[in-house]
Amino acid sequence: MGRVAFLLNSEGIRTKRGGKWTARAVRDVITNELYTGNYWRKRACRRIIPGSTKIEILWL
C-alpha cells in the first residue's frame, strides 16, 4: 500500500482533505465500507452493485 501512496503522491493526487497519501490512508479507503459499497444505516444494509447505478437494500 506504500507503493500505491507513492504513486498517488507522485501524480499529484491529494486526499479528500488536501493532504498527501500514506499507506494507512490507502488502507483506510480500501477497507472503508462506505467506499467499498457496503453502507449500514439503522437496520438496513445498502450495497452499491458494481458496474451499475442500482443500490440494493437489505433489511435486517
Residue ranges covered by each domain of the chain: 2-59
Summarize pLDDT for 18-55 with one digit per residue, the tens. 999 999 999 998 888 777 766 655 555 566 666 766 66
Q: Are 1 and 26 in contact (CB under 8 A)?
A: yes
The pLDDT value given to residue 16 = 87
Q: Are 57 and 44 in contact (CB under 8 A)?
A: yes
Question: pTM of the prediction?
Answer: 0.59
Given its phi and psi angles, is residue 52 left (phi above 0), alpha (psi -120 to 50 degrees) or beta? beta
